[in-house]
Amino acid sequence: MSVSAQTGPSTRTGPTSGQRGGYAKGRATQQEIIRTAILVFADVGFHGASLRDIAARVGISHPGLLHHFPNKAALLEAVLEYRDAVDEQSFQEDLERGSDYFEAMLHLVERNRLRRPLVELFAGLSTEATSPDHPAHEYFRRRYQRVLDEQSRLLRERAVRGGLAPGVDPDQAARTVVALMDGLQVQWLLSLDRPAAERVDMAADLRGYLDLILR
């Protein structure tokens, strides 16, 4: 898992394709650090996490971890980029399979049910990072800007085609959709203490709102 030599020829660019073993092992270790950091950050937040804990779970020393990521903030950045890449990939694949945008959003929310650590991570960091001096502040500021802009654009497009219920403001609806997804994550995470039948169904509740505003 953390040791996969990969010696064969490769057409890839970057350090992945070196001769004599290349950096493949290093990349594999980085991936495992990122996956482990997601679990730990999700559990105790960025401030609460210790590099020693993350490193120990991976089976290396914490200076070993710092060889791959120069500091804690750099690790956080890699984690956020990883999360975005994972989401963006499956979302795009969904769109290419013919889903419309809001369907793809609902599928994304449904997939999140199987990725509790990622949800915990994102929910926790997005609130931690509202502090202007948090290392992920800029990341989240830009992320929300981007997501809200895209959401507004889509709803305005629908509005001109008559796809919005009367009286619905596209910008307000965009903020509401995003807020709803964030807020439902908290309720869903808290509901995981309860039996499966009583848990919050994030996709169903989001669909409930979309049914109110789309037509």
Instruction: Out of 31, 39, 57, 60, name the contact with DNA by CB under 7 A.
Output: 60
Minimum Å gap between C-beta 214 and a second copy is 12
Distance CA 17, CA 19 (A): 7
CB proximity list for 14: less than 8 A, separation 6 or greater: none
Our finding on whether 168 is near a second copy (CB under 8 A) is yes
Smallest distance, DNA to C-beta of residue 121, A: 15
CA distance 79 to 130: 18
Q: What share of the chain is helix, strand, coil (3-state, %, to 5)?
A: 70, 0, 25
Give whole-number Cα distances, 190 to 16, 26, 140, 187, in Å. 41, 37, 23, 5
CB of 167 to a second copy, least distance (A): 8
**What are φ and ψ of residue 37, in 5° steps?**
-60, -35
Binding site for a second copy (CB under 8 A): 42-48, 120, 123-124, 126-128, 130-132, 140-141, 144, 148, 165, 167-169, 172-173, 175-176, 178-184, 186-187, 189-190, 193, 200, 204-205, 208-209, 211-213
Binding site for DNA (CB under 7 A): 2, 15, 23, 25-27, 29, 49-53, 55, 59-64, 66-68, 70-73
